[in-house]
Structure 1
């Protein structure tokens, strides 16, 4: 943006780093100063900008992961509840034959979609199964899977995670295997919540708990990204392959690197500067020619 345009927007041409840091505040910045070993205000702002950018870099994969997970569980639960007659069945609705077991807070979240008013009455018409699934929160799915009966788990997990190397009712009949899966899903859920709430995702308590240097957090964040792709591949190998080869993953791998952290600390405003895409040549099409 030109200096003239900046002046029109009342934006200074040169950022005052000390004023920026004052606005953000010490309580939020002090953990960056210590963990990223910042010796100057420039380095501190760079570390803070990197923390923002790494969260942004996770979002496309998180979005693809959520869609792949929920749709895989939806199809599998539908197949289970409908006895193989439908891939989009109200498996969550206790008024329907074959509904799966859902209780506790998970049921409350579901009822918010199925009921309205005070006292709550069933919506009429009821939303379609696909609409219900799209309305449920990210955190619904790990809790829902954990609350299934053992028989429901063995059959639903086998088809929902069909590409898992050991996916079979016998494998999912072992509680330890189910517990490991749910733990992985909840770990990704925690990361997603931190990203959504603009919280620093590089902190040790959000990762393995053993990170004592920012370079270790970089490595652990790459492992988190890889774990999402792995779970996505269990649900839908094609979606995982698409995410792996996407621009979003190339961007993530570039940002989630020690070189990127160092670049941000040296130059908060120039780090990651890239050549702009050339705009495509657009040709107007007349209505008659459509």
Structure 2
């Protein structure tokens, strides 16, 4: 039972720290350490539920840009002088987005070579492969590649923009569209970094209450959904058909907070008709419910929609 755990000083004061957990106390106003730890664990649950859809956005964006530019400029399209940019001046350093993209590809190449040596024991000269380097790129690379430095006559945008983003555009103007998707990518990437660094997923300026936090999370999921749909609507269908979007949105609800705080109702089931009723409610409300079954040996289950 959660009441037998040593919340203080062991779990909260020493292993998590009051500095980190105070923000949960201020926003969610838990009435006990059990509820405080519950909302802390709920945050980890939210991060895990959102991870697959962020991963889908990152991977499909990377592959869509790579596919379009590889068909246009060939393999290793980022190397040498293949990738031209708008403000090019001979003997002058490139602007930040261009240099940052180059640095990211150089870093990805080094990571690929290092992995070949450490994981596979390859010795001597290693020739990087196109797909090997692409797999090592960071998410920020694609934000840099969507910069307006690459927009203009004879440049990669706008000529290849429709190939990368096959969904319905919010604007018929390529420059407006490029700004829109770059903003989306920046928002999703910043949110991804917050999740991956184990920070509160809901935290930002202006979030003061539980309702604020949940609204913020739902908005972020909406941004991820928009990016995935712009790349190709079939990406969205994949996430929907496998229940990943619903799972992410379901995680970001007050009902799920209560469940992790051990405040959710436990439904006692001692007949098949009651079990059927609970399953029906679970599906109708799209909610995870806790059931204690007395059919034979007493056991507790979570009943979850898919």
TM-score norm. by structure 1 comes to 0.74
1:45 to 20, 25, 37: 37
Could you tell which deviates more after superposition, 181-190 or 232-241?
A: 232-241
Aligned counterparts of 2:290 and 2:4: Cα–Cα separation in 1 = 17
User: In structure 1, what is the equivalent of residue 78 of structure 2?
Assistant: 92
Aligned counterparts of 2:69 and 2:24: Cα–Cα separation in 1 = 44
Q: CA 1:133–1:246 in 2, change beyond 3 Å: closer, same or farther?
A: same
Cα deviation code 1:219-239 (max 9, x no counterpart): 221221122122112212222
User: CA RMSD, aligned part only?
Assistant: 3.0
User: In structure 2, what is the equivalent of residue 281 of structure 1?
Assistant: none
Cα deviation code 1:246-265 (max 9, x no counterpart): 24333322211121123323
1:196 Cα deviation from its structure 2 partner: 0.9
1:228-243 to 2 correspondence within 5 Å?
228-243=224-239
Contact 2:290 2:302 in 1 (8 A): no
Aligned counterparts of 1:73 and 1:126: Cα–Cα separation in 2 = 23
1:241 Cα deviation from its structure 2 partner: 0.9
Q: CA 1:70–1:100 in 2, change beyond 3 Å: closer, same or farther?
A: farther
Q: Does 1:15 align with 2:19?
A: no
Contact 2:229 2:236 in 1 (8 A): yes
| Higher RCO (C-alpha 8 Å, min separation 6) | 1
Contact 1:54 1:252 in 2 (8 A): yes
Cα deviation code 1:194-219 (max 9, x no counterpart): 111101110124xxxx4332212212
1:131 Cα deviation from its structure 2 partner: 1.9
Q: How many residues align?
A: 245
Q: Point out where structure 1 has 5 or more consecutive residues left out of the alignment.
A: 4-11, 83-88, 118-122, 278-290
Q: Point out where structure 2 has 5 or more consecutive residues left out of the alignment.
A: 86-96, 115-123, 267-287, 292-300
Aligned counterparts of 2:179 and 2:169: Cα–Cα separation in 1 = 17
